[in-house]
Structure 1
Amino acid sequence: MNRIQDGLARFACLLGTLCVGLLAARAQSTNFYVFLCFGQSNMEGFPGLEAQDKGPVNERFQVLAAVDFPTLGRKQGQWYPAIPPLCRPSAGLSPADYFGRTLVSNLPPHLKVGVVNVSVAGCKIELFDPDNFQSYAATAPPWMQNIIKGYGGNPYAHLVAMGRRAQQDGVIKGILLHQGESNTNDKDWPRKVNAIYQRLLHDLQLRAEDVPLLVGELVPADQKGACASMNKIIQTLPQTIPTAHVISAQGCAARADRLHFAPEGYRELGRRYAAKMLSLLGYEPGRARPGNAQ
C-alpha cells in the first residue's frame, strides 16, 4: 500500500510540474520578439531628448524596465511603451530606440517587439564578465559604482535576471551590444565579448544560431571619433563569433565630444541595427523611416 501511495505521490508531483510547464508555455508568446541590449554610454543613451523622440510610440514596441523609473511610474520587471529613456531614468536616446521603432514599422502587425537594456556608462567590457567583474567594479569611480548598485552590484547577473523575466512573455531573438570606447585598442576584446556572449546563451538556454549578436561601431573617423581606431578591432568580431554582425557607424552624426552620437546619429544607427535584424529574421526592410507613432 505504501508503494502505491508513494507512486501516486510521485505521479501527482510530475503532473503538477507538467502543468506548470504548460502554463508557462502558454504565457510565453512566440509573437513577442525580445532583444537584450548592453554596453556603455552610447547604448545607455546620452542624456537629452529631442521633441520628436519623446513619443508616442507604436504600442507594439515595449521596454522591460530593468530598474525603477520613479518619475515615469515604471517598476522594475514590468513592460511599458518604449518611450525613452529605455535604460535608466537619467539616460537619453540610444540605438535601441529606433531599432525597435524600425522593427515594428517593418514586421507584420501581429508581431510585437520588446527590449531590455542594462548598460553602464564608461565601463570596460570586463564589467560584464560574470567571473571577474568584482575586481574591475571595485576600482570604478563613485559615479559608476552608483550605476552598478542600481543593477544589484552585478550588471551581468541583472541582465540575465531581466532576460529570464522577459522570457516569461516572449522569445529572445537577438542581443545588441554597443561598447568599446573604454577598451580602445584592446586586441583581446573579441575574445572577451565572445566569453560573455557564450555565457549569456548558456544561462538563458539559447542557441547561437537563433540569437545573433549585433555590435555597433563607435563614432567613426569621418566624424573625428576619439576612439575610431577601435572600429578595426570591432570589425574582426565575426572571425571569433560566426553569429556576430557588425553595424556600421559611417556617417552617423556625433556630438562635439567625439565619443557620443548626436540624436540623429542614434536614430540612424538604430535603423541600421534594425535593418540587419530584419534581414536575419527573413524580412525585407522598407525604405520608410519610422516616425514616433508608426
Structure 2
Amino acid sequence: MKKKITLLLLFLSIVGVKAQNNDFWIYLAIGQGNMVGTAKVEAKEATVNDNFVVMQTENAASTQLGTWKKAVSPIVSQKGGYGFLEAFGKTMLENTKNKKIGVVAVADETFPMAAYDIEVSHDFVANKTDEKTKAALERYGNNIYGRLIDMARLAQKDGVIKGILLQQDGNDTYNNAWLQRVKKVYYRVLNDLSLDSTKVPLLIGEVGCSEVGGKYAEANKTIGKMHAVLQHSFVVSAKDCALAVDKVHFTEDGYKQLGRRFALKTLQGMGFELSDTHKSSQSTHTKVQSSVIEVNVQISDKGILTATATEPLVKVSVTDTNGASIKEITLPEPSKVFTMDLNELPQGQIIVAFHAIDGEQSFTISN
C-alpha cells in the first residue's frame, strides 16, 4: 500500500510540472533609456500579436511580479514609452512559424553597465542619492542583476532563452574596461542560468550615429570592438535611425528601424534565410571530409578555432563570401594541428580553407 501511495505521489508530481516549450523563445533585455523606449505611445501600437509577451519585472501593485503579459507599449516599464522591442517582437514573429516570443527586461536610463556588475553594483546602489535613480532601483528591489536572474529563471520554466539584448544611450564610460565589463556580465549571466554561449549570443545596438547628429556617436567606436572581445556577440547598426531632439534617444521611426535590425541580426545568427540578410549559423563542431584529407574543427566559446587534419597542413587562408582575402597564414613547419583566434577576424560569414601538400579543404562559419 505504501508503495502504491509513493508511486501515486510521484505520478502527480510529474504531471504537475509544466513542460518547457521549445517554441517559446525568450530574450533578456538590459540597458538604458533606448532599451526602455522614450517615444510617444500611439493608439495604433496597442494592438499586438498574442504570441509576443513580456514578463513583469518591476515591482507594481497592479501586476504580479514574474508573470507574463501581452507585450503592449510601454513594454519595459510603465515609466517608459515606445521602444525598439515592439518592432523586434513583430519582426521575429513575421519571420518564424509557430513561435512565441518573450522578453525579460531590466533596464532604466540611469543604469550604466556597472549597475549589472555584481562586483560593483552594491556601491552603485549605495551611492545614488538622486530621486530618479533611487526610484528606478526601488522598482527592481535595489538589486538589478539579482532581479534579472530571478526573472530569467522563472522564464526558463516556460521557454528557452535564445539571446541577450543590450542597448544603451551612450552615457557611459566607453573604453576597454567597458568592453571587459560587458563580457564579464555576459558570461556571469550565462553561468548563473546554465546557458551555452554558442546558443545564446549577445546582441548590442549602436547608439545614435553621427550621420543623424548623435550626441554620443563616438561611443560606437568602442561598441564596434565588441566582437573582437566577445566571440559570440553581434553589433546592430543604428545608422540612419532617426533621433529625437535630444539627439540621444530615437524617434518612433528610429526605434522601429532599430528593432527590425535587432530581429534580423538575431535570425541571421540562427541560420534563417531572409531577403535582406545573409544566412549564417553558429557551430562549435564542424567536420569536413575530402578524398584527400579530413579536417576536424572545434571552436571554443572563447572563439579559439582548433583544427586537426589527417595530413600535415602548410597554409590556412581566410576569405569573405565573395572570395576577397582576409588573412593568409603560411605555417613555418607542416603540422596536423592548427589554432587560430577568430576574435581577430571580421564579424560575419567567413570561409576558412586548410591547405595540405596534396590537397585542401574549406568550410564556412558565422564569426
Same fold (TM over 0.5): yes
Aligned to 2:47: 56
TM-score, length-normalised on structure 1? 0.86
| CA shift for structure 1 position 86 | 1.3
Equivalent in 210, 216, 225 of residue 236 of structure 1:
225
The number of equivalent residue pairs is: 271
Instruction: Give the Cα–Cα distance (whole angstroms) in 2 for the partners of residues 98 and 205 of structure 1.
Output: 29
Describe the SS at the equivalent of 1:118. Answer: strand
Aligned to 1:41: 33
Change in CA separation of 1:213 and 1:185 when aligned onto 2, cut-off 3 Å:
closer
Instruction: Give the Cα–Cα distance (whole angstroms) in 2 for the partners of residues 79 and 251 of structure 1.
Output: 34
Larger Rg: 2
| CA shift for structure 1 position 284 | 2.5
Whichever structure has more helix as a proportion of its residues is 1
Describe the SS at the equivalent of 1:46. Answer: coil
Aligned to 1:111: 99
Paired residues of 1:38 and 1:178 also in contact (CA < 8 A): yes
Runs of at least 5 residues in structure 1 that lack an aligned partner in the other structure: 288-294
Describe the SS at the equivalent of 1:258. Answer: coil
Instruction: Give the Cα–Cα distance (whole angstroms) in 1 for the partners of residues 72 and 42 of structure 2.
Output: 12
User: Which is further off, 128-137 or 224-233?
Assistant: 128-137
Describe the SS at the equivalent of 2:161. Answer: strand
Paired residues of 1:69 and 1:88 also in contact (CA < 8 A): no
- Does 2:241 correspond to 1:249? no
Instruction: Give the Cα–Cα distance (whole angstroms) in 2 for the partners of residues 81 and 216 of structure 1.
Output: 24
Cα RMSD (Å) of the superposition?
2.2
Describe the SS at the equivalent of 2:184. Answer: helix
**Which AA in structure 2 matches 1:193?**
V
- Runs of 4+ residues over 3 Å off in structure 1: 18-24
Q: Deviations over 1:215-258 (max 9, x none)?
A: 00001101111110000000100111100000000000000101
| CA shift for structure 1 position 101 | 0.9
| CA shift for structure 1 position 93 | 1.5
Describe the SS at the equivalent of 2:262. Answer: helix
TM-score, length-normalised on structure 2? 0.69
Aligned to 1:198: 187
| CA shift for structure 1 position 124 | 1.5
Change in CA separation of 1:240 and 1:21 when aligned onto 2, cut-off 3 Å:
farther
**Which AA in structure 1 matches 2:149?**
V
| CA shift for structure 1 position 282 | 2.1
Equivalent in 164, 178, 184 of residue 189 of structure 1:
178
Q: Where do 1:269-280 residues align within 5 Å? A: 269-280=258-269
| CA shift for structure 1 position 45 | 1.3
Describe the SS at the equivalent of 1:104. Answer: helix
Instruction: Give the Cα–Cα distance (whole angstroms) in 2 for the partners of residues 232 and 284 of structure 1.
Output: 29
Higher relative contact order (CA 8 A, sep 6+): 1
